Amino acid sequence: MKNFSELGIIEPILKSIEKVGYTTPTQVQEESIPLILQGRDIIAGAATGSGKTLAFASAIIEKAFPGKGIQAIVLTPTRELAIQVSEEIMRFAEFKQLTITAIYGGVSISPQMDALPNTDVVVGTPGRVLDHLSRGTMDLSKVKVFVLDEADRMLDMGFIEDVESILSACPKKRQTLLYSATISTYIYGLAEKYMDNPAKVAVDSYVDPSLLTQVYYQVAPNQKFSLLVHFLKKEVRGLVMVFCNTQRATDFVAKNLNKQGIEAIPIHGGLSQARRSHTLERFNSGKALVLVCTDVAARGLHIEGVTHVYNYDIPKEAKQYVHRIGRTARAGEEGIAISLLTEHDYDNFNRVLSNHDLNIERMDTPQVERVHMETMKREGFSGRGRGGFSQNRGPRRGYGGRGRGNGNGSGYSSGNGNSSGSGYRGSSGSGTSGNQVNYN
């Protein structure tokens, strides 16, 4: 394995790397930095935590000079990532004395407008960057390096049209670097349209599968929170992330955990930027050991020391599940991902299990003390369900069958045999029949 000096990085950046304490390049750094420093456009498949910020920062810092206008721009999908990336570039640019400005919404635009005339590098979210362009407060005509970070997340959030508008405001002759955890056909199409013969770099997942344990527990709806409290009170090491699907559920779970003496803090898109930043600072510093969050925290943010990821709500897609569990088992450390299932989670869990690369083991649910908590009406569920997820004999496993509900409610029942169907019956006594669901 090479060291940083063998990658061709200039001395000012090497001094910063040494000061930060990095000693050995990551895979994405070793494979992409030499190509980047040659001036090549890059498509890199790299997840959060793989070291990609230093990779693209090496080109930005080498090519940018103080007081020459905005010479590089990095687009990120979220405010938190914009702040984090800008701070990382500042660390690596310390001995080059560049001015890096983070541009994002949710805060006053005036300080950003004041800072931009003296800015060398912009790190921003698409919406706020477009706002500045429309106001004439940002000039991208001198951009030498354009970085699109978390490109797949940009696509998921509907930012691609904004990204293309920003690209059109930059010089055609520039270096374009695209980073994405997954590379879709659409992203390749974007590259073909805006990049010049890009080199492709694919690195292994930064999460070590051999160090990541994935399990799930079946539990009655009125016992899910009690089981979460039981586990959290047993574990005392590392940081914990608890994922919920909605802002409402996130606040609800965090509030009730605190009532049980568990210091938990919520984070989601409904909070102010100042509060979100303060929350992440507390969590990263270890002042709060449990972060209850929506998927806004699953992507892009570099959070070290997460040992446990809990899916209090099961995500709707396997891709979301993979991003969530990617918060742990990093950099040689062990981690565990725990999913808590009630009958309302089976449809989502079915979609997660459609990814046959996932190995999620069912565990026996322990007896736990019932924890009293405030009630929260479940949106979209007013009926009663029965039955549950079943582990069938034979090579296949399945769940579901027929359910019955009251009014707009829905219910579930367990399946038998080598395969089974899942379905629901709901509104006004009508419903859909189950679809066959098989697993290998």
Residue 84: strand, helix, or coil: helix
DSSP secondary structure, 124-174, as one string: E-HHHHHHHHHHT----TT--EEEE-SHHHHHHTT-HHHHHHHHHTS-SSS
From the list 140, 132, 139, 65, the residue with the least C-alpha distance to 97 is 65
Residue-level pLDDT at 402: 35
Give the residues of the chain that fall short of pLDDT 50: 206, 379-440
Number of neighbouring beta carbons within 10 Å of residue 81:
25
d(CA 428, CA 430): 6
From the list 85, 90, 125, the residue with the least C-alpha distance to 104 is 125
For the stretch 148-203, pLDDT in tens is: 998 888 887 888 899 999 999 999 999 999 988 777 777 888 888 999 999 988 76
List, in order, residues 6 or more apart from 166 with CB less than 8 Å away.
73, 75, 126, 129, 130, 133, 140
Residue-level pLDDT at 89: 96
Instruction: Give all domains of the chain, ordered by start, each with its CATH number.
Output: 4-202 (3.40.50.300), 209-376 (3.40.50.300), 380-440 (no CATH)
Residue-level pLDDT at 216: 96
As beta bridge partners, residue 424 has 432
From the list 127, 138, 121, 133, the residue with the least C-alpha distance to 66 is 121
d(CA 362, CA 148): 39
